[in-house]
Amino acid sequence: MKILAVNAGSSSLKFQMYEMPEEKVLISGVFERIGGTDSFYTIKINGEKIEKKVTLKDHNDAVSCLIDELLENKIIDNLDEIKGVGHRLVHGGDIYNKSVVIDDEVIKNVESLIPLAPLHNPANLVGIKAFTKLVPNACQVAVFDTAFHQTMATDTYLYAVPYEWYTDYGVRKYGFHGTSHQYLSQRLESILGKKDIKVITCHLGNGGSISAVLNGKCVNTSMGFTPNAGLVMGSRCGDIDATIIPYIMKQTGKTIDEVVEDLNKKSGFLGITGISNDSRDVEQGINAGNPRCILAQKMYVNMITQYIASYYVFLGGCDAICFAGGIGENSINTRKEILDALKPLGIKIDLKANDVRGKETLITTKDSKIPCYVIPTDEEVMIARDTYSFIGD
């Protein structure tokens, strides 16, 4: 059975097609700069990567182009072979704690949540409408980034602000990267051979979050009302004192929107280093002795270790920790610095095993009190699995 997993952005569309239930990737790719004058797309099939320039006025054009590629490459003979399309949706609020088949009510609810995700939910909806129009017989499924975190307790997800902010405006911790954290926790269940476990999952990339997972359910996570909370990130500030915002507005004359823009797109690695939001550039700066790159890395590692340590206490112990995402899977030095800082928890890094990128590996010694792993995350296969679950054989 052929299932598409898609992620629609405001000017992009990422996709992977699977043969289910084998979970075999048949084709993958991304359409970029949709609506611009220099749009193009890249596909990967049979190990070969192909890039093509094409005019894409909107997402309908991108989906039409995708369908043409599926037909031309003999991935499908007709549209009816696409049995399901799973859509990544960033925000499901506290309405959805699991994936759902998309209908008019789901569309209405996702639209009502646009104030909570003004950049993402509208783009996700555009993707849904394009696929519904052009692949009308496929089952359309919404897979929410926030769903996995809806098992948090009230005393964990609420902020100590006027209670009416929650009841009237939905102000609470929602958490994000849920599909990734769910995949990672399930992999750890498989690796450890049991489900009744306490694990800490670290999704570390340009955006980053850490989750505490108890017996397969999220009990705490670092991102909050928005993805800007928690860790230091590529261009996001992470946790700060909220009163910094009015202070900077008064000092600079900037509007609230301008300050929020700075906190989301000009902070984190970029803000501290003044060079880049990319951790690879930061590491190059460290090797060159750049003091601001060294500072940014220390701040980054400090915040990660604080969250891991606090979640260790929150869970009452920990059976395993894992690292995923672009940094978590590929930055050997960052993992070493984090695990060295966690020595008080009885963690002992295996330096030889840690010398790995993008491969599932145990990176601690046999006598380490907590085993730590690198686990490449796979959000797309989770989307495909959830979509397949609504269709079956």
Instruction: Enumerate the active-site residues.
Output: 145
Query: Which SS3 state, helix, strand or coil, does residue 337 take?
Result: helix
Q: At what angle do helices 121-134 and 59-72 cross, to 10 degrees?
A: 50
- Report the candidate in 268, 148, 294 with the shortest Cα–Cα distance to residue 208: 268
Cα distances (angstroms) measured from residue 146 to each of 10, 45, 61, 140, 288: 19, 31, 29, 18, 39
What's the rounded Cα separation, in Å, for the pair 192 and 183?
14
- Tokens in use for 389? 């679950």
Give the span between the Cα atoms of 211 and 325, in whole angstroms: 13
Strand 217-221: give its sheet, edge to edge: 217-221, 208-214, 198-204, 320-324, 372-374, 361-362
Locus of tokens 């409408």: 129
Token readout for 369 is: 């009190």
